[in-house]
Structure 1
Amino acid sequence: MAILRAFKAIRPRRDLADKVAQLPYDVMSSEEAKEMAKDNIYSFLHVDKAEIDLDENVDLYDRKVYEKANENLNKMIDNNILIQDKKNNLYIYRLTMDGKSQTGIVGCTSIDDYLNNRIKKHEYTRKDKEQDRINHVDICDANTGPIFLTYKYDDKINDIVNIWMKKEVVYDFTADDGVRHEVWVIDDDKTIKSICNLFKNVDSLYIADGHHRAASAVKVGIKRRRENPNYSGDEEFNFFLSVLFPHSDLRIIDYNRVVRDLNGLSTEEYLFKVSKKFDVEVYEGKEAYRPFRKGTYGMYLGGRWYKLAVKEGTYNSDDPVDKLDVSILQDNLLAPILGIDDPRTNDRISFVGGIRGLGELEKRVRQNDMGVAFSMYPTTLEELMNIADAGKVMPPKSTWFEPKLRSGLFIHKLK
């Protein structure tokens, strides 16, 4: 039984939505954010990356940064750039990229569902990244970026959403990256109740993206509970901002790997070792090699692409993590041959989201004659959910979701 709750969103004035809405804070550096926002006083980066409005010598985690974020958020509200709805609503948020749409319901989910594992995770979080967002949420007194959740497709929920999308759209704009963003407001109490009741029949929600934002929102909620020992459970700090998509809508794209060197091996020695666990074939195509099924990989080495296919019997585990392509590559090539023992901490490996194209892999290898890159077949939603259901954690950089949800379209105040 998953809890979904309507809320009074703070959201942009209709004519400013495209100027306010921005990519999530964690997909860009401070320098990139400053450049993106320099000619846009409405940009939500002034809230999510408030260091861009301070002296560059101020530490990213200084309290001044979070206080500036709160100041900028309140200024946007005071200047009617952002306006709070007068009643509790749900919202529909549709993103369209390359002709494919994904349609989610925006509302608030429960910190208790997170704590009780009804909202399931598949990644570890880092305490320093958690603390950053804890400070941001607590000092701004708001969830400023939504958590990207998914659930197993439900016909009845889908039918309600499709009917409501025939009504007037409140935001409809295409961002600079070509992604179209559309929003509808569900303001009918009967419809809201029906949707929330249908989610009570959903066994689990799964975090697709936003593990640090989710963990931080929950910890702020726990902190507020300690500060308010007589809390009823109905207060806003018991819930956090989420967008819930049916799993059938979502698209995971490849998350590729680049290793700086061959770990002291010659090309011939390296290929010989790889051939013990993988069938290796030179790829004669003109384009970069993109794997077409599970268990296959592209490898860019010495100015040419190779096709790799894992040999039968290389792995026999029933563990859903061990069966992932990223795990097979890590356990049978990256660790034993290239010496990448811990991809989370080893500085010889880097990860490149497939949205940047396979040409980026070639470029990075050419910058270092001894480098090697691997193009991956994308992890599936089913694999992600199986691992989360088993209470396990995926290897780092296993999934890359596109398109990215925009921050600034919905803000949830904690009181």
Structure 2
Amino acid sequence: MPKIIPFKAVKPTRAIVGLVAARPYQSYTVDERESRMAYNPYSFLHIVNPGYKYDQEVTGEERYKLVKNRYLEFKEDGVFVKDKKPSFYVYKIVNRHGQEFNGIVAATSAEDYEKDIIKKHEDTISKREETFKSYLQTVGFNAEPVLLTYPDNALIAQIINDVQNTKYAEFEFTMTYRDTHYLWKIDDAPTITTIQSEFKNMDTIYIADGHHRSASSYLLYKDEKVKNLDHNGTESYNFFMSYLIPESDLVIYEFNRLIKDLNGLTKEEFLIKLDASYRIENRGLMAYKPSKPHHFSMYLDGEFYSLYLRKTCYTFKTSLDTLDAQLLYKTILQPVLGINDLRNDNRISYVNGHHDMITIKTSVDSGEFTVGFGMCPSNVEQMKQIADEGLTMPPKSTYILPKLRSGITIYEY
């Protein structure tokens, strides 16, 4: 029975929302950030990179305090305005590939995360959880929703469609990446109640993207709950901002793997070891891309190969075992190439499935990497089953769309 509630979002004004909205800070190169901040005084990057104002790098608690100051300045200057009524927000994204995403921005329950009503499929790093929790405690706001997905629901879909067709969008703007964003407000009590009732009838909802943000929000909730002697469960720290979209809207790509060396093996020795688990076919210069689960592509020494799993050599015991990212790890990356820590080993790198096999070829041909692997993407049902079994995927198993922007709706603690 997931609990979602409306909230009073802090939002940019309609005239400048397209200038404020920004991709996550880490997704920019240094040069990209510098360029955007130099020519756009409204970019949300000015808030999350406050040292730019003083031409120096600031970190830790000092940075958090400056982030809060920049945010308050944006509010004082009228760049951000807080809504007067708690609302849900219908949010639509149409990207440059024509893919469309429709959902609802709402506040979701940290207690539901604790009770596994909001389920996860990825491990998180404790240090990152604590860092972001401290950030939230100092700055007092969150500007990027967690991406959650729920089973397709006809009534919620009808409400979203009706809102989009009967109301003018409060926001409609296109980013430089050529994705167009729309936002409508729902603040009437009957519609809010209906949406909440539909979510209460669901058993679970799932984190699609934003595992660390969810975990940090949960840690914040635990801390503040203990500190507040008058805690009653309605305080803002009991919730975190999420963008909830139906499962059919979720788009999942794979992350392909690039490896810097063959762990001391020659090409021939490496291929012989792979032959124990895979049927191998040399495809020459043909850029082979797998089309079935448990099939992989490989680029090595100027040639493409197809790898088909010998199923008699591998036992599928859990849903995780059927995941291609796990399969590649268990049959090649760990036993043959000696990569045990997928998160921290600097011999491995990842390329999302938006890029084709030629990207892998180029990376290997440049000499930076020795071998590259491509695979099929996983699907929503695999993700859910792994979460339901209490298991977690290897790092970089999924590249999930939509990718959200910061600064369009802001949740204050």
What's the TM-score bracket when you normalise by the shorter of the two chains? over 0.9
User: TM-score, normalised on structure 2?
Assistant: 0.95
Matched residue of 1:245: which SS?
strand
Q: Determine the C-alpha separation between the residues in 2 that align with 1:133 and 1:369.
A: 33
Of 195-204 and 93-102, more deviation after overlay is shown by 93-102
* Partner residue, 1:151: 150
Mark the CA change 1:51 to 1:369 in structure 2 (over 3 Å): closer, same or farther: closer
| CA deviation after TM superposition for structure 1 residue 175, in Å | 1.3
Matched residue of 1:22: which SS?
coil
Q: How does 1:202-217 map to 2 (within 5 A)?
A: 202-217=202-217
* Partner residue, 1:161: 160
User: 1:93 pairs with 91, 94, 116, which one?
Assistant: 91
Give the letter for the 2:119 counterpart: K
| CA deviation after TM superposition for structure 1 residue 125, in Å | 1.3
Contact 1:302 1:370 in 2 (8 A): no
Mark the CA change 1:314 to 1:154 in structure 2 (over 3 Å): closer, same or farther: farther
Q: Determine the C-alpha separation between the residues in 2 that align with 1:154 and 1:9.
A: 25
* Partner residue, 2:366: 367
Of 251-260 and 302-311, more deviation after overlay is shown by 302-311
Q: Determine the C-alpha separation between the residues in 2 that align with 1:56 and 1:86.
A: 37
Q: Deviations over 1:354-410 (max 9, x none)?
A: 234433322221232760001121111111111111111111110111231111001
Q: How does 1:330-345 map to 2 (within 5 A)?
A: 330-345=329-344
Matched residue of 2:84: which SS?
coil
Matched residue of 2:385: which SS?
helix
Of 109-118 and 176-185, more deviation after overlay is shown by 176-185
* Partner residue, 2:346: 347
| CA deviation after TM superposition for structure 1 residue 89, in Å | 0.5
* Partner residue, 1:184: 184
| CA deviation after TM superposition for structure 1 residue 282, in Å | 2.2
* Partner residue, 2:198: 198
Give the letter for the 2:131 counterpart: D
Q: How does 1:36-47 map to 2 (within 5 A)?
A: 36-47=36-47
* Partner residue, 1:223: 223
Q: Determine the C-alpha separation between the residues in 1 that align with 2:52 and 2:380.
A: 36
Contact 2:94 2:179 in 1 (8 A): yes
| CA deviation after TM superposition for structure 1 residue 57, in Å | 4.5
Contact 2:258 2:369 in 1 (8 A): no
Contact 2:11 2:81 in 1 (8 A): yes
Q: Deviations over 1:32-82 (max 9, x none)?
A: 433433311111122234344455453x3x211111110111111111111
Matched residue of 1:72: which SS?
helix
Q: Deviations over 1:299-327 (max 9, x none)?
A: 11111211111122232223111110011
* Partner residue, 2:10: 10
* Partner residue, 1:378: 377
* Partner residue, 1:262: 262
Give the letter for the 1:234 counterpart: T
Q: Determine the C-alpha separation between the residues in 1 that align with 2:136 and 2:368.
A: 45
Matched residue of 2:148: which SS?
strand
Mark the CA change 1:150 to 1:276 in structure 2 (over 3 Å): closer, same or farther: same
Give the letter for the 2:67 counterpart: A
Q: Determine the C-alpha separation between the residues in 2 that align with 1:196 and 1:37.
A: 39
Q: Deviations over 1:71-128 (max 9, x none)?
A: 1111111111111111011001111121121111100001100111111111111122
Q: Determine the C-alpha separation between the residues in 2 that align with 1:160 and 1:370.
A: 50
* Partner residue, 1:403: 402
Q: Determine the C-alpha separation between the residues in 2 that align with 1:356 and 1:46.
A: 30
Q: Determine the C-alpha separation between the residues in 2 that align with 1:117 and 1:34.
A: 41
Matched, 1:171 2:177: no
Give the letter for the 1:99 counterpart: G
Q: Determine the C-alpha separation between the residues in 1 that align with 2:16 and 2:412.
A: 20
Q: How does 1:283-302 map to 2 (within 5 A)?
A: 283=283, 286=286, 288-302=287-301
Q: Determine the C-alpha separation between the residues in 1 that align with 2:396 and 2:50.
A: 27
| CA deviation after TM superposition for structure 1 residue 10, in Å | 0.3
Give the letter for the 2:242 counterpart: S
* Partner residue, 2:313: 314
Identity of aligned residues (%): 36
Of 133-142 and 101-110, more deviation after overlay is shown by 133-142
Matched, 1:74 2:34: no
Q: How does 1:118-137 map to 2 (within 5 A)?
A: 118-137=117-136
Contact 2:350 2:396 in 1 (8 A): yes
Give the letter for the 2:135 counterpart: H
Matched residue of 1:313: which SS?
helix
Matched residue of 2:376: which SS?
coil
| CA deviation after TM superposition for structure 1 residue 30, in Å | 5.4
Contact 1:33 1:49 in 2 (8 A): no
* Partner residue, 1:391: 390
Matched residue of 1:107: which SS?
strand
Give the letter for the 2:265 counterpart: L
* Partner residue, 1:24: 24
* Partner residue, 2:101: 102
**Residues paired across the two proteins, number:** 411
Q: Determine the C-alpha separation between the residues in 2 that align with 1:229 and 1:324.
A: 46
Mark the CA change 1:344 to 1:289 in structure 2 (over 3 Å): closer, same or farther: same
Q: Determine the C-alpha separation between the residues in 1 that align with 2:51 and 2:29.
A: 11
Q: Deviations over 1:105-156 (max 9, x none)?
A: 1000011001111111111111222222112211111122111111111111
Give the letter for the 1:339 counterpart: G
Mark the CA change 1:230 to 1:348 in structure 2 (over 3 Å): closer, same or farther: same
Q: Determine the C-alpha separation between the residues in 2 that align with 1:161 and 1:215.
A: 28
Matched residue of 2:321: which SS?
coil
* Partner residue, 1:234: 234
User: TM-score, normalised on structure 1?
Assistant: 0.95
- Gaps (5+ residues) in structure 2? none
Q: Deviations over 1:249-307 (max 9, x none)?
A: 11011201000011111111111211221111122565x32221211111111112111
Q: Determine the C-alpha separation between the residues in 1 that align with 2:205 and 2:389.
A: 14
